[in-house]
Structure formats: C-alpha cells, structure tokens
Amino acid sequence: MNEIKQALLGKARELGFGRGGVSLPILDNSNARALEEWLSKGYHAEMAWMAREPQRRVDATLSLPSCKRVVVFTLPYNQVVSETPPQVGMLRVSRYLLGRDYHRLAEKQGKKLVRWLRETYGGTHRFYVDAGPLLERAFAVQAGLGFLGKHGNLITPDGSFVFLASLLTSLELPLDTPVEKSCGSCRLCLDACPTGALKAPRVVDSRRCISYLTIEHKGSVDEALRPKLAPWLAGCDRCQEVCPYNRKVNEQTIHPDFATRRVESWFSWETLFSMNETQFKEAFQGNGLSRPGLNGLRRNAAYCIGSDKMRHRDEKRVVKLKEMIHNEEDAVVREALSWAVKRILNGT
C-alpha cells in the first residue's frame, strides 16, 4: 500500500498539486462539536448548504460508503504582489482570484487523477474541491499537512495561501500523522481583521468576513460594515498577509495556471464602470471574479469609494458619481453609489 501511496502522491504532483497527506475517513468528535456550535451561531451567513447534513462533513463514509481514507492535496497559490496601490484610489483583488478559477482547474486535474488511480490500482474513489461535503481543513490537519492558524486557515510548510482538494478512496493507504505546531502567543491576524470577523481563534463569522461579503453575499451589505471594505474589491487577504508563516513566498510551488496571471491585483473603479456585461464576460471568463459578476464588483467598488479610506471630497468625482447614479440600472449598485456620494458630501 505504501507503494500505491507514493505513486498517487507522485501522480498528483505531476498533475500540478502540491503536498498530499492521508487521513482516516472520520474526523474526531471535537470537529463535529465545533461545526455544530459555529452553525448554531449563524456564522455560515447565507451559505445554507454548509448547514445541510453536517454529519457528512466529518464522516466521509456517508458520501462514499466504501471510503477507507481521505487524501488531501494542496495547491499553493501565493505570489509576490504589491500591497500598496500603483495609483491612489485603486482597488484590490485577493491573491486567490488572480489566476484561473481553481475549482475548475482542480476538478479537471482531479478527474484525471481518479481515472488513473482506478485504471492502475482499482478501487472506488471520489474527488472534491472546496464545495464538497467535507471539512477539508480539518481533514488536512488529520492528514498531517499542517495546523489550523488562528485565522482559521490551514498553515502548511508553504504557508496558508493554498487551495485544498480531497480524494475519498476505498484503498487502505498508510496514514500520515498530524503535526505538532501552533500559533503560540501570536494574535496578529485577530487584531488585523478590519471588520472583526475573527470572533475567537479559528472562529470566523462569515457575516463580517470581507471575503464572503465581496464574493458570496448578494444584495446590499450592512451599512456598519461598508466603510471598512476598502481597498478590497473582491476577496481579502488581510489576516493571511500579516501572518509570519506567509513571509516566505516560494513561487516555484504555484500551479502554472496561477503563476500566469489573468487578472491584475489592483483595479481602477473607473474601468469597472466603463465596461459592459459582454466586455466583462470576455475579460473574466474562467476567473473567480465572474462569481460576484460585474454588478457585484460595482457594488463593492461603490462601498470602497465611500469608505473611510477613500472618501476624499473632490467636486469632479461627485459630479461623475451623480451621473453614474442617474444611469445605473441595478438597484443595489445605485443605492451603493448614493450611499458613497452621501458619505463624501456629508463626511458621515
């Protein structure tokens, strides 16, 4: 079985995955309790799918009855990006959105991996990327890939800017052991979160998380949170950027589809408002920015324009924004622009 494990990890690397580790198919009880408590507080926001069948998230045999092991793979995506804008007033895109949509990328490679494994060694397998019914980070910890930082992300030897993908398999591969590491007394991420979304170590309130609000959340954002979103147009890397474990960037570990950027990390809001839907689709097809869509990004941009950091009074800008409100067809974007203008004019 060890030979099969090594061959599987080697094949996964060939397909562009990073590290791999092997876990039992069931997580220990503390994970089920933590998930239950997190859900009971409503920290999953509008992601109702997370509350569905929580038992499946901690027990992979409920998804694949013959499952004997969960093999978790990383896909590192960190790269050197400027944390200061090239021009004042530009808006920022999170690192994980700079390349191709990783769901599509990992799913395609995962299918190839499953086909190869079945044809070479037999067995029954299933592959999940992110949206699968599994607590992937907890399985990754049990598979010895790293530990959970206080920001709730998995910290691996390559840092925490990694995507995760999981293979459920009926093959009884040799297990890996969890690593003995922790954040110690550090609390940089807890203090750095602009919206206070990190309620406690490893407890994220998605309702306040900028990543969730700018990508997943539909409709208007709570007025109390809007002023804190800038400069994030889509996603947020703040808690991971302050983390000492992310100081070293090894760009050689990045998948080529991420190393070749499709999107720049800083955007001008004027560009967004000058695009039509067809131009947007052409420019961002296959990228995660298509998830919030053009109107979602415009809404976010409007909140940034009216934020504490960006709302300097400039008559020309106000005239332009008022013109945009007049021409805007989307009600949520129009309200967001009106809110920004009001804040610029009133200073509130």
Written as one string, the DSSP assignment of 8-29 is: HHHHHHHTT---EEEE-SB--H
Confirm or reject binding of residue 238 to ligand SF4 (CB under 6 A): no
Residue given tokens 């070479």 in the structure block: 120
Among 242, 263, 318, 332, interactor with ligand SF4 by CB under 6 A: 242
Phi, psi of 276 (to 5 degrees): -105, 175
Q: Give, for 326, the enclosing helix (H) or strand (E).
A: helix 315-327
Instruction: Using CB under 6 A, pick the residue from 71, 91, 154, 243 that binds ligand SF4.
Output: 243
Taking the least distance from each CB to ligand SF4, the nearer of 144 and 149 is 149
Q: Of residues 151-190, which lie at the interface with ligand SF4 (CB under 6 A)?
A: 151, 183, 186-189
- Note if 130 is an active site residue: yes
CA 31 to CA 33: how far, in whole Å?
5
Taking contact as CB under 6 A, which single stretch among the options 67-75, 83-91, 120-128, 145-153 is the one that binds ligand SF4? 145-153
Q: Which amino acid is at 36?
A: E
Helices within 15-127 (DSSP H only): 29-40, 54-58, 102-121
Binding of ligand SF4 at residue 197 (CB under 6 A)? no
122, 244, 256, 286: which one contacts ligand SF4 (CB under 6 A)?
244
Torsion sign across C-alpha atoms 313, 316, 322, 324: negative
Q: Which of 18, 99, 110, 149 contacts ligand SF4 by CB under 6 A? A: 149
Helix (H, G, I), strand (E, B) or coil at 157: coil
Closer of 151 and 343 to ligand SF4 (Cβ): 151
* Angle at which helices 277-284 and 293-305 cross, to 10°: 100
Least distance in Å: CB of 239 to ligand SF4? 7
Is the Cβ–Cβ distance between 26 and 61 less than 8 Å? yes
Q: Smaller CB distance to ligand SF4: residue 33 or 187?
A: 187
Which is nearest to 169 in space by CA: 11, 24, 10? 24
Which part of the chain contacts ligand SF4 (CB under 6 A), choosing from 84-92, 94-102, 149-157, 340-348? Answer: 149-157
- Number of C-beta neighbours around residue 250 at 10 A: 12
Does 236 sit near ligand SF4 (CB under 6 A)? no
Which of 126, 137, 150, 226 is in the footprint of ligand SF4 by CB under 6 A? 150
Cα separation of 161 and 178, whole Å?
19
Taking contact as CB under 6 A, which single stretch among the options 6-14, 92-100, 237-245, 307-315 is the one that binds ligand SF4? 237-245
Which is catalytic among the residues 59, 130, 191, 308? 130
Decide: 61 and 25 in contact? Cβ < 8 Å.
yes
Stretch that binds ligand SF4, among 14-22, 99-107, 146-154, 252-260 (CB under 6 A): 146-154
Please state, in angstroms and rounded to a whole number, the distance separating the CA atoms of residues 127 and 107. 8
Number of residues that bind ligand SF4 (CB under 6 A): 12
Taking the least distance from each CB to ligand SF4, the nearer of 186 and 332 is 186
Residues belonging to the active site: 130
Binding positions for ligand SF4, rule: CB under 6 A: 149-151, 183, 186-189, 242-245
